[in-house]
Amino acid sequence: METFPTPELTAADRCDLCQAQAYVRVINVDTGHDLLFYGHHWNKAQISGKFETDKWFIWDERSKIDASA
């Protein structure tokens, strides 16, 4: 599987669905195009099963979400 250089996500990276801070970057290995997700929207995307194939590189930084905030 191809690897992608993925810089750490910052507060400037915004979810493509709602513009909240993104914590997950998903990159299509065939095209290189990426999608950014807030934690909640990533959970919904995982339930859909769309990103379960080997065509997606997933960079997940949800561990940075402060549960006490």
What residue numbers bound the domain in which 47 lies? 24-64
CA distance 21 to 4: 21
Q: Bigger pLDDT: 3 or 11?
A: 11
47 within some domain: yes
Q: What angle do CA 8, 9, 15 make, to 5 degrees?
A: 160
* 25 contacts: CB under 8 Å, gap ≥ 6: 6, 9, 13, 34, 35, 36, 37, 58, 59
Burial of 36 (0-12, 13-18, 19+ CB in 10 A): buried
- For residue 60, the model assigns a pLDDT of 93
Tell me if 40 is assigned to some domain: yes
Q: Answer whether residue 12 is part of any domain.
A: no
Whether 7 maps to a domain, the answer reads: no
**Residue 39 maps to a domain:** yes
**Per-residue pLDDT at 10:** 93
- How far apart (Å, rounded) are the C-alpha atoms in residues 23 and 62? 5
Q: Is residue 11 part of a domain?
A: no
Q: How many domains does the chain have?
A: 1
Tens digits of residue pLDDT in 15-67:
999 999 999 999 998 998 999 999 999 999 988 888 888 899 999 999 988 75
Q: Is residue 1 in some structural domain?
A: no
